[in-house]
Structure 1
């Protein structure tokens, strides 16, 4: 193999290791303020895709959100394409201008989030029941505020560093 090919392979390997940081979006508008966006009633539609990209589950969520000072409650009610339902209640705390923590019954420990510009990165471990067993799965959520009403969310699910699939959501604030 030529020296150029080796150098190019090395550069491609390094580029694959680079990661996006929340601070990369600091100048993006509109600026995301969780307490302003997640306040009132929101609707979200989403889907789960397995690691091959196949859509495994679709769902609709109605979220009732409110804040008292730095603490917000997001009451999420899911209806899945197979007719099943689920409820998750998040308690989110604003720690400082850019950092948040969160808890929910099926979240292991505490979620951590950082917001800059129009973006929020939210990381947590969720206890997911699958075929009678419960697995702790890592979630890496990225949310992007598109305008005053719409936010897009992409979550990568992994276990032991292996990608299991993705969840995609579109949130809409009711007027």
Structure 2
């Protein structure tokens, strides 16, 4: 075997090794891009107890931004909240910046291990959530009326208790895995 052939084989082996290392590095970096887990916040305080926070009057101020970050709508939500044991009702009255109104009544059920299930007339199936520390993650599909049609839009909703009165909420909206926009809310208890 001549020197040129050996150098060529060595170069191919080196390139193959580099490609494998680059693929491994790419796979490892993508593995770190997963969504956060509620358990990541288990030690955060103050502790969020939905039965405590959403009990009595709560007001929320919010906005919807499209996928480009443009503010599309602003709104205020007046909520009447109550619990009977592990069963809760959140009666939400929305008033939008364009003057339109909407009402949604959530029926919540506290399950074991910090988990919750919720239903509302415009929620497709059931919403499923989990609380841990000062955080609550809620995932559900909402039937949204858009230009005379109804779209089933997925929500990945994160709530974080800042103090006893203030709860911040960020919900990403998507359809077929494509990000449509985001809803941002600030809840105030009392």
Give the TM-score range, shorter chain.
over 0.9
How far apart, in 1, do the equivalents of 2:70 and 2:56 lie? 33
How far apart, in 2, do the equivalents of 1:108 and 1:173 lie? 28
Shift of 1:96: 1.6
CA RMSD between the two structures:
1.6
Higher strand proportion (structure 1 or 2) = 1
Q: 1:164 aligns with which of 171, 180, 184?
A: 180
User: Highest Rg: 1 or 2?
Assistant: 2
How far apart, in 2, do the equivalents of 1:143 and 1:60 lie? 17
Written as runs of structure 1 = structure 2, the 5 A alignment for 1:18-167 is 18-167=34-183
Shift of 1:14: 3.1
TM-score by length of 1: 0.93
Secondary structure, in 3 states, of the residue corresponding to 1:13? helix
Higher helix proportion (structure 1 or 2) = 2
Secondary structure, in 3 states, of the residue corresponding to 1:121? strand
- The count of corresponding residues between Structure 1 and Structure 2 is 173
TM-score by length of 2: 0.86
Shift of 1:9: 4.2
How far apart, in 2, do the equivalents of 1:78 and 1:72 lie? 19
